[in-house]
Structure formats: C-alpha cells, structure tokens
Structure 1
C-alpha cells in the first residue's frame, strides 16, 4: 500500500490502514526505544502512541505530509521516547535529591535530640539512651538505674520525655521536626 492510499483510507476512517502501518513498521519503530535503553513494553507503548497521534492528525485534516509516513512515524516515536527518557531522568534526580535531603534532615534531627538529651541531666540521659538507642527493656533499665521497679522506670521515662519535649520546643521551631 502506498502512502497516498493509506492516507485516503484513514481519512475515510478505515482502520485496516492502521493495522497495515502497525504490522509494516512495528520492528523499525520499536528499535528506536530498544536501542536506547528501553524495554519491549515501552517500545510497544511508544509506537502505539505514535500511531494514535498520526491517526488523529490525519483524521482531523491537520496533517501536512512533507515526508513519507515512515519518516513521520519515526520522528513521532523518537520525540515520544525522548520525552519519556526526560521524564524518567527528572523522576530519578528528584528521588535522589529527596533521599539526600531526608538523610540530612534525619541526621540533623538526631543531632538535636542527642544534644538536648545530654542537657537533661544524668538520670534522664541514661534512661532515654538505654531505652531508645540501646533498645533495653524497662525491666533492665530499672535494675541498671536501681529504680524500685519497672513502673518507677516507666514514670521516670515519661517525665524525662516531657522535659525533653519542652527543651526541644524552647530551642527549636516546630517546623524543624515536621515531615
């Protein structure tokens, strides 16, 4: 089928022209994506999008052919794939930036908390460090710090956390700790 026959069929809404284009140019068009770090599925999607764009332009009467249909489809596929690669690149760099920011942010929060814990006094410092950083049980903490029982250790931990919260709030803005 020649290009002018294909365009005539498309202008009449004859989808056999679309099937013909799909079968004839599938390998050539998908090779663009496959040879540029794309998968078979991505290649198929890009070619289908290109055919849709071509079909819509041809049916609407806005298609001005200055080259062969194969060249036109090739340029659409190439542009579609470039857009997809740009999108992937942006997403990748945004994810990396976000991860770096989160790591820095978490390190800063940990530093602030440890600094404030250090200013609470020896008992609170030990109790909170044992519980949150060393992962000790309240029973072990009660024994180590020579509290009367586990309930005493829990009450003391609660009071230490309240003091820590007040200390942090007095030194830093709330936004410093919101995610």
Structure 2
C-alpha cells in the first residue's frame, strides 16, 4: 500500500468547493450584470446564479457531459434561461391595484346597516375586541400602529388577536343563526 503525502490528498468536497469559488469569481459578475440589465436585484442575481450553478454541477457529473463553450458561458446561458422563465411566470401575475382605485361604488349600492345591532354583536366579543376591530376597520390604523396602541409586542401579535376577535364574532353569528339581513335596514 502506497502512502501519499498529506498535501497531495484532495477530497472531492475540496475540489467542488474550489470549483464553486472559482465560478463565483469568474461567472457571477456577468450573471449579476445581466440580471441588473433586466431590472433584477442583486438578490435575484444571487438566487438565479445559485440555481444555475446547481444545474451546471449536476449536469457535469454525468459522463456524457460535454460543453463547447466555457463554463462561465454555459452558466450564463442557464442563468438567462432561468431568468426568462421566472420573468414569464411573474408576468402572469397582474396587479389590480390601479383598477381597484378607479372603481367607484354608488352610495346606494350597500343597504343601510343597523349600527346598534352591529355594535351589540361586536360588544359580545368583549370591549378590547370591539376597540381593536374599530381601530382597524373604521380608523384604518395600520398593524404597526395598532400593535403600539393596544400594547402588542409585534405586528404579528396584533394580527393574531384581530383574527381571534373576528372568530369570536363569527362564532356568535353562527350560534345565534344571524343572517346579513339581520343587520341591514
């Protein structure tokens, strides 16, 4: 059995790490420039590059793997393909904010609400719930301000409490078999 010098032992993990470091140095700047030109962020570039790097590595492990271009060009091609696919997927999501802002609802669209009955129902959930729901729905306070006003540590805590209050109201409606018409005039 032949004994090898310690400095000549190179593990596959070390080789892979060295390859990845080299590719980050040589290929990532080009991918980042491309993603930037396509209105992407540095974070987008890092995500796309890492995906491209994984694909490149997995393909390179097959015996039949043969590329005619440089590794950097090959990774750039994968990154471009991934970005275009991501862009096409994201483009299908359409924001309706601008349309929603342009919609006007006639004043007589909603029937008049019997506020006394509604307040009576909300009061059954407790005074704190009543105040919390009023601050959110009528005063239109954002969750951050709502959390501060009611002494919650985080916005998430305020959101959870609002949900619990709504569940109390829903349970009361189910229990009493109220309908929408019970609250309109």
| More helix by percentage | 1
Greater RCO (Cα-Cα under 8 Å, separation 6 or more): 2
TM-score (norm 1): 0.48
- Normalising by structure 2, what TM-score? 0.47
- Greater Rg by CA: 1
